[in-house]
Amino acid sequence: MRAATQVFEGGFSDAVLNSQEVFRALMDAMANPGLVIPVRDLVNAPAPLQPVMAAIAATLFDHDATVWCDKAIAGSDAATGWLKFQTGLELTSTPSDAQFALIRDVDTMPSFEAFAKGTSEYPDRSTTIILQVAGFDGAEVLTLQGPGIEHTRSFAPSRLPKLFIDQWAANRAAFPRGVDLILAGKGALAALPRTTRVLKREA
């Protein structure tokens, strides 16, 4: 009974104002790659969805959104039920068909190549990947360059996909095609648009 109740509870207390707050944070993050933007806990979604990822989903998804969830999220009836009830999204089992992807387990996520990259005529027909991370004080510090960054910016998410540097370089080389990445941490979010160059920080 508790799992069923969770599906209908824990959404935005004020759908308009709360979604506007999250949307502004997302736009700020996309305009300033790698900048960590604080976000209040505005929802209480079932595990394994953490508040920031769930708030991003509640802001961006609607009944027209096609979403792929990784096994950790797709395997939770409470989590997928909450997402469906709060947003009306359509779930897909094929990453390349997804407008958005929700990923909880970075170690088992597909490569960026598995997702939609759009076309030269319609580069917006690509997947925006929303990756849940513990935070932004990881051991590996990356250097970012590109639009929205005056010189360079340091960026240190807690976890990133395997072979991330190489995968991201290939993704950036496909511009204007390519995926965009949103990282949802605890109480904060950050973004890496496809135009961002990511380098290992020199010792």
- pLDDT value at residue 131: 98
- pLDDT value at residue 203: 55
**Percent of the chain topping pLDDT 70:** 96
- pLDDT value at residue 1: 43
Long-range contacts of 76-80 (CB under 8 A, 24+ apart): 76/46, 76/47, 76/48, 77/3, 78/3, 78/6, 78/7, 78/46, 78/47, 79/45, 79/46, 79/47, 79/48, 79/49
Give the residue ranges of the chain where pLDDT is below 70.
Answer: 1-7, 202-203
The CATH number, out of the four listed (3.30.70.330, 3.40.190.10, 3.40.50.11310, 3.30.70.141), of the domain defined by the range 2-191 = 3.40.50.11310
Task: Spell out the domain ranges in the chain.
Answer: 2-191
- Residue 176 near residue 147, CB atoms below 8 Å: no
- pLDDT value at residue 135: 95
- pLDDT value at residue 5: 58
